[in-house]
Amino acid sequence: MVLKKVIPGERTTSKSNNPIIRFDQRGLITLNRESCLLIGLQGGDCVVVYQDDEHPTDWFIGKATEGFRLRAIRPSGCGFNCKGMVTMVKELLSWDHTASIACRISNNAITNPDHGEVYPILLSSAL
């Protein structure tokens, strides 16, 4: 038997078919292909990330007419920069590793009366 150690802070190289958002140490936030397909995003679109004031660990992402403008990133993903947001997520998760943080995005959208359709970012799935 050959065991491979997988712990937080060590980047895994496996491809995921799940919608994933990744928070990079340099402030780059990327959405994989599955996330872009789920939310209906492509390079040039805008997104807004929301944090629930009453439940600070509940975060959401949604397509918007104004917000962070996405750049196309290979292969078939999108991304934007916001070092402050990455810092907030790291502090919220008490993340002291140097690797980026990858979190799933729920497949089930929530309709918010003020912001329309938003997708929960599952911070509890951070790896």
Separation in Å, CA 108 to CA 11, 20, 81, 121: 27, 14, 25, 11
Taking residues 3-9, report their average pLDDT: 64
Domain presence at residue 4: no
Residue with tokens 């078919």: 17
DSSP 97: -
Helix, strand, coil % in the chain, rounded to nearest 5: 15, 35, 50
Q: For residue range 9-55, list pLDDT tens digits in order.
A: 555 555 568 999 999 999 999 999 999 999 999 999 999 999 999 99
Strand, helix or coil for residue 87: helix
Q: How many domains does the structure of the chain reveal? A: 1
Domain-located, residue 81: yes
pLDDT tens column, 64-79: 999 999 999 987 899 9
The residue range of the domain holding 93 is: 20-125
Please report the pLDDT score of residue 4 as a whole number.
64
Asked if residue 1 belongs to a domain, the reply is no
In the chain, the N- to C-terminal Cα span, in Å, equals 24
Average pLDDT of every residue of the chain = 89
